[in-house]
Amino acid sequence: MFDLSGRVILVTGSSRGIGRAVALELGRAGSDVVLHHRANPAKADAVRTELTKLGVQARIVSGDVADPAAVATLVRAAGEWKGRLDGVVTTAGIYRGDASHQVGPNDFQVVLRTDLEGTFRTVQAALPYLRKSVRPAVVTVSSVLGGHAGVGAVAYQAAKAGVEQATRALALELAPRIRVNAVAPGFIRTDMNQAGHSDPKFHADIVAATPLGRWGDPDDVAPAVRYLLSLEADWVTGLVLGVDGGIPLR
């Protein structure tokens, strides 16, 4: 089950972190993958090498998802590779954890542009290529902070809440053919939140607060994306699936 053989799937932000884990999981499931990075060609190339070893094809596109013109260009390059996209996973994102009194004049919009508008523009640019797929599906990436409040990082939390509602709205608008779902990871050990998980006290606080008793790994999130992209999830759309070790339960 959950086989993705023969698919062509774009994963934004896939040189590292959750995006990298998603790309490799999709490769293990048999999909060809379009990798994307903003400024990390060496790491993207390393992921491509790993995908090639798995026996699937991969190519690399680059650009800043906060720039709609760049998004149009990179998604076109992804779509023209095989003439279609069977899936798009919008992992690219940034995090700013500042307290509100420290958020400068441009800080808020940088986060909104990257995390929220970047997600929308990626899906928008991919529509012509998704429409050429037999079973197109989109998975966006929210966060446990998109539906449950944390302290600080207001722009990030608002952007992720926006991603969740954009996911539902797109699921309705793009039905019946294109499915759109989200994953909402909890606290995952990635480069993006290294400041958090390398701080012993914060690390221990999260372990204590998470019912499953640990931080998540990127490899914990990737299989949920695989499920949502699969034929077995053909009747799932508009869902936000928490992958968070149960942390909102407390």
| Per-position x/- string for 135-174, each x denoting binding to another protein as judged by CB under 8 A, each - no binding | ---------------------------------x--xx--
| Tokens read off for 21 | 């884990």
Residue 154 half-sphere exposure, CB side, CA atoms within 13 Å?
9
Site membership for another protein, residue 243 (CB under 8 A): yes
Site membership for another protein, residue 244 (CB under 8 A): yes
Out of 39, 69, 99, 175, the only residue in the binding site for another protein (CB under 8 A) is: 175
Interface region with another protein, contact rule CB under 8 A, candidates 111-119, 149-157, 192-200, 242-250 = 242-250
Site membership for another protein, residue 248 (CB under 8 A): yes
Q: What count of residues does the chain have?
A: 250
Task: Give helix 41-53 / helix 17-28 axis angle, nearest 10°.
Answer: 20
Establish whether 156 is a catalytic residue. yes
CB 17 within 8 A of CB 192: yes
CB 225 within 8 A of CB 12: no
CB 15 within 8 A of CB 40: yes
Q: How many residues bind to another protein according to rule CB under 8 A?
A: 40
Question: How far are the Cα atoms of 46, 98, 140, 148, 237 from residue 102, in angstroms, in the given order?
Answer: 37, 6, 29, 22, 38
Out of 10, 23, 138, 221, the only residue in the binding site for another protein (CB under 8 A) is: 221
Which residues contribute to the site for another protein (CB under 8 A)? 1-3, 168, 171-172, 175-176, 179, 186, 211-214, 216-217, 220-221, 223-224, 226-227, 230, 232-239, 241-246, 248-250
Residues serving a catalytic function are 156
